[in-house]
Amino acid sequence: MKKHNFNSGPSILPQEVLAKAARAVLDFNGIGLSILEIGHRSSWFVDVIEEARSLVKELMQLSDEYEVLFLHGGATTQFMQVPMNLLDDGETAAYCDNGIWGSKAAKEASLFGNVNVVASSKDKDHTYINKGFAIPANSKYLHLTTNNTVEGTQWHRFPVTDIPLVADMSSDIFSRPMNFNQFSLIYAGAQKNMGAAGVNLLVVKKTVLGKIKRPIPVIMDYKKHIDANSLMNTPPVFAVYVALLTLRWIKKEGGLKEMERRSNEKANLLYSTIDSLPIFTSHVVKEDRSNMNAVFFLTHPEQEAPFLELCKQEGMIGVKGYRTVGGIRVSMYNALPLESVQAFCDLAKQFAAKRG
């Protein structure tokens, strides 16, 4: 039976990326060593990480003001590493709380300075994205999560402000073209659109660094990592290599414009199907729906378990909603083929015809 991988992360990877990564585990580029065995300061790996950094800059069309790093710890580490590098004692950072990850990021930042939650959608269970909110001029930066995997919302327009923008793009990085130069710092865990779990991408504008008076532990200091070209300590070599393969695939397939075209096609198919079937209901405001993670529910909760069981029988993997939210979640990252979304929609229609 064909499997359809809707996992929210770690998530589906392109088949050619998996094939190349598998070959490299046995023999990396014909050198007679596994990618798991090569030294991280060897020319073999330096070439890998330098090409990966270059591709990030190319795909995101970043100016020379930016540095690209591959770091340990995933996006959750950045919840504290960002304020550690950007927020000094007594200063205030503005945060948007549009879901579980934004809330956690704000909580961590409060350990290093003052946090002002300038926008929150908690009043309606994070089913919308705030708009038109005020950002105090004394804010050191504004932090937001561009796509909320748990709640199924996504920022489709960003605040226009002179305050430095910081964005957690873990779940929609490389899924659409945008002006990435409007952000002062971007971070993203790799395990959704960019590769395997274990590495975190960081894009940072150099001018925002070096302003903190408090001592920063060396391993947490962005400037030290920049000086060491992401090689201060042993990086997650294999995860960086899979990220490189995925970045190559994105470029070969047509870049971010093509990723966006495919994303829109998949999301339009999924949402139009769900909206047409009264057996399903979505609580997310339509204009704020996520192209990456569609979250919806059975109108009659008692039908959720039978539907999930049917999905399991038909090879639909990872469609159960997040544990604190429930319902159904269909994640549609770059590598997910349209055929998988079509298969899910066909199954939803069959279920509705029998039970609707």
- Active-site annotation, residues: 101, 168, 192
| Distance from C-alpha of 296 to C-alpha of 280, rounded to nearest angstrom | 7
Q: Which amino acid is at 18?
A: L
C-alpha count within 13 angstroms, C-beta hemisphere, residue 132: 0
The separation between CA 297 and the C-alpha centre of its own chain, rounded to angstroms, equals 23
Q: What sign for the dihedral angle of Cα 52, 61, 95, 150? A: negative
CB of 159 within 8 A of CB of 139? Answer: no
* Summary count for the chain: helices (H), strands (E): 9, 14
Q: Residue 196: what are its φ and ψ, rounded to 5°?
A: -90, 160
**Is 50 in contact with 235 (CB distance < 8 Å)?**
no
CA distances from 299 to 119, 273, 274, 290, 293 (A): 30, 15, 11, 20, 19
Count CB-CB contacts under 10 A for residue 134.
Answer: 10
Evaluate whether 109 touches 143 at the Cβ level (below 8 Å). yes
Q: Token digits for 293?
A: 């993670």
**3-class SS string, 8-29:** CCCCCCCHHHHHHHHHHHHCCC
Is residue 231 within 8 A of residue 190, CB to CB? The reply is no
**73 Rama class: left (phi>0) / alpha (psi -120 to 50) / beta:** left
Q: What angle do CA 27, 255, 332 make, to 5 degrees?
A: 85
